Amino acid sequence: MRKIIYILLFPLLWGCDNVLDVEPENAITFTNFFKTEEDFNAIVFQLQAFSRYKAFENEIMPLRGFIADLVGNSTYQDHRMLNQTSLVSPYSSYNNWTNHYDLIYVANVILDNLHRAEGVSKDKLDFYAGQAYFVKGFVYFDLARKWGEAVITKNSTSMEVYNKSSMSDVLDEAIKNASEGYKLLPKYEDMPLLGANTWVSKQYGCKGSCAALLAHLYAWKGSMIEMHGLNGDAKDCYGKAIEWCSLLIDKKAGYYELERTIGEVCTKAMKGMGASQENILEFELDRFQEYPMAYFPGRQYITWPVKGTDTPASVVTQTFAIKAETVKNLYEETDDRRDEYFYKLDSMSHDTMYKVNQGFAYIYKWRDAVYQDVSWSPTPQLAYIDANYCYWRLADIYLLRAECYAKLDDDLAIDDLNAIRGRAHATLYPRPGENDIRLAIFKERERELLLEGHRYFDIMRNGLEYVHACMEGNYKTLTQQDVKDGALFLPIGGDAFTYNDLIRQNIYWSKFE
């Protein structure tokens, strides 16, 4: 009977699927359901189920920043070239923030109904609240990175029509929620089991994931203060980002440590599923769903030999591909990432292979494929790539701290940079000709976090000079005023204007509507 109740309840939750057109649910609806530990376990499970795809269903920003020599999708190319008139289409799902507000709504439902609990321990209630706060913090951070200005809602029952809030206010809202989550949640290794004697997914909020979120929030806020002229103290933000990074690196927010080798980064960290102590936040993916629940950014590149049903020639038909020469220019010959992230880079880029692969390299950062028998083929066919979406790992945190140290002109940046280079057997900083520590850290993030979805945001954090140097098309002619007006963010999707006549497009994108 209880399963039936939950099936009935969650369509009611999603009946209010756009926060810009909120109608409060009848209080009686929730009075009968939010009482027992089982009830709250169920809604937290549901929040996590929605989180693993709703936040990424229309993901486009990572694809903007990919290093790629082939892009086989015109919409993706429009984003990578900043083809303005194509991007403001009211029919573009990539501009739609509804999924983000769906998640905020469910998190608010949890927070608004904790008082109904009967006989549930304070530790468990803190855990449920912490999960909701973490999701809200993460989603508001994502809204600020993708749209800049966004709506901040009060709760799950308000009938107000909301206007946009400033980027500063959205970031502060994210910081507030992430901070609450950090206070309430345990370290990952102390996470409670929710009715099952199994490994606890790293998708759940814990002190470590909240600390990583706060590190990125403060690094982002400091960068936006400098780039957009926001009110605030950028140096103070960088200092706070360093503090949160240090809690993770020093194992004070949970037990995290770098994998010993780059090979283990590929076989453990990129796989996820509890295989790696380097991973801080992962998103659990449904292996049997091609889209969107099996999404992780690098999947766009994967072909033979990881997909055994493909052929070596399949690389030229991928949505994204990268030339072997580009890889060789990115990594030193001694760098282990050159030969671990790519399959037989040198032999597969020999002249004799050019007719087969046209000089493209084969991604090997994700390696495990699972096959299944199908009725229409005598041989098993690819079922899925066996990997979670590793969103934040400790190597990212080392390099984020290095970036913030560099922005404060602190030589400790070199130690963090070299911690990552040393593991890869790359030449330590400064290698011959290197004299710009900020550029060196940016390039190291390109190498270490290749295809993990960070590069576009890294470019944004580093300012207009990096936008001009690293992006193509209309990005190269953007002015500082264009950036302040919102050129690097997504235009707001058409649904927002349908539901709310207070909403206005940002200044930059309003010129192209």
Q: Residue ranges per domain, the chain?
A: 1-58+97-185, 297-386
Residue 422: both structure tokens together = 């040393």
In the prediction, which pLDDT does 284 show? 86
What pLDDT was estimated at residue 5? 31
Least confident of 85-89, 266-270, 369-373: 369-373
Those residues whose C-beta lies under 8 Å from the C-beta of residue 439, and which sit 6 or more positions away, are: none
Please enumerate in sequence order all residues whose Cβ is within 8 A of that of 308, keeping only pairs 6 or more positions apart, or say none: 369, 371, 382
Q: What is the pLDDT of residue 55?
A: 72
Percentage above 70 pLDDT, the chain: 91
- Among candidates 175, 455, 507, 167, which has minimal Cα distance to 330? 455
Query: Three-class SS of residue 164?
Result: strand
Residue 290's pLDDT band, with cuts at 50, 70 and 90, is low
> Using DSSP, how many helices (H) and how many strands (E) does the chain show?
23, 8
Q: So what's the pLDDT on residue 288?
A: 64
Q: Which amino acid is at 446?
A: E
Summarised one tens digit per residue, pLDDT across range 395-439 is 999 999 999 999 999 999 999 999 999 999 999 999 999 999 999
The better pLDDT of the pair 94, 16 is held by 94
Question: Band of the pLDDT at 3, cuts 50, 70, 90?
Answer: very low
Amino acid type, 457: F
Coil, helix or strand for 35? Answer: coil
Band of the pLDDT at 287, cuts 50, 70, 90?
low
Which pLDDT value is given to residue 371?
85
pLDDT for 263 = 98
Average pLDDT of the segment spanning 286-302: 74
| pLDDT tier, 156 (very low <50, low <70, confident <90, very high otherwise) | confident
Helices 207-228 and 234-249 pack at an angle, to 10 degrees, of 160
How far apart CA 98 and CA 128 sit, in angstroms, is 23
SS3 342: strand
Range scoring the smallest mean pLDDT among 3-17, 114-128, 295-309, 324-338: 3-17
The whole-number average pLDDT for the span 179-184 is: 98
Determine which helix (DSSP H) or strand (DSSP E) holds 372, and give its type and residue range: strand 369-372
Structure tokens at 421: 């280079």
**Distance between CA atoms of 241 and 214, rounded to whole angstroms?**
7
Give the CA diameter of the chain. Answer: 72
State residue 18's pLDDT score: 38
In 3D space, the residue among 47, 30, 145, 44 whose CA is nearest the CA of residue 102 turns out to be 47
- Cβ neighbors of 497 (< 8 A, separation 6 or more) are 503, 505
Average pLDDT rounded to a whole number, residues 434-447 = 98
Q: How far apart are CA 211 and CA 219, in angstroms?
A: 12
Between CA 177 and CA 21 the distance in angstroms is: 23
**Token match 């020599």: residue?**
69
With a cut of 90, say whether residue 273 has pLDDT above it: no
Interval 140-149 mean pLDDT: 96
Q: What is the mean pLDDT of residues 207-224?
A: 98
Predicted local confidence at residue 499, as pLDDT: 73
Between 326 and 28, whose confidence is greater?
A: 326
**Would you state the structure tokens that stand for residue 300, as one six-digit string?**
């766009």
Examine the pLDDT at 44 and tell me if it is beyond 90. no
pLDDT exceeds 60 at position 28: no
Q: With 60 as the cut, is the pLDDT of residue 286 above it? A: yes
Torsion of CA 290, 108, 253, 238, to 10 degrees: 90
The second-level CATH assignment, the architecture, of 1-58+97-185 is Alpha Horseshoe (1.25)
pLDDT value, residue 27: 42
**pLDDT band of 20, cuts 50, 70, 90:** very low
